[in-house]
Amino acid sequence: MSQKAKRVRSIRLCEAPIHVRECSGFGETKDHFTPKCIAKLLRWKQKQIEDPLNIQYLSFACHKEKDSTTPARLQLLKDQLGGKMFTFRQHTNYFNKLCKTKPQKLSFR
Ligand SMILES: [Zn+2]
């Protein structure tokens, strides 16, 4: 394989479904799609947590944005596991409140 081909293969794009404005477009960090703390609460085994299907690559900015929602997602799950019921509307409102940054479409300049 040529040097150029190797370099191209190693470039990853940010895999966030919605990118924040500061996103570089590149998957600079490794992220667990289902965060470890939530996976452990769901009693996932280490092998499931590290499964390639649970791994995504995000830019620093998109990763930071995703991580900022983790404490609230963890609390929601704890409430649900504790038997608290949420309607679809309550669930949607809950997540809308979590998004501090307005998502933007990814654009390359
Ligand atoms: Zn991104």
**What span, in angstroms and rounded, lies between the C-alpha atoms of 33 and 66?**
9
The token pair that represents 17 in the structure block: 């479904």
Q: What's the pTM?
A: 0.71
**What span, in angstroms and rounded, lies between the C-alpha atoms of 98 and 46?**
28
What value, to the nearest 5°, has the Cα angle with vertex 69 and ends 49 and 57? 50
pLDDT on residue 72: 83
- Model pLDDT for residues 1-41, shown as the tens digit of each residue: 566 655 555 789 999 999 999 999 999 999 999 999 999 99
The token pair that represents 72 in the structure block: 């609230």
**What span, in angstroms and rounded, lies between the C-alpha atoms of 59 and 11?**
12
Ligand 1: centre distance to CA 87 (Å): 30
Amino acid at 100: K
Amino acid at 46: Q
Ligand 1: centre distance to CA 72 (Å): 21
Ligand 1: centre distance to CA 9 (Å): 19
Ligand 1: centre distance to CA 108 (Å): 11
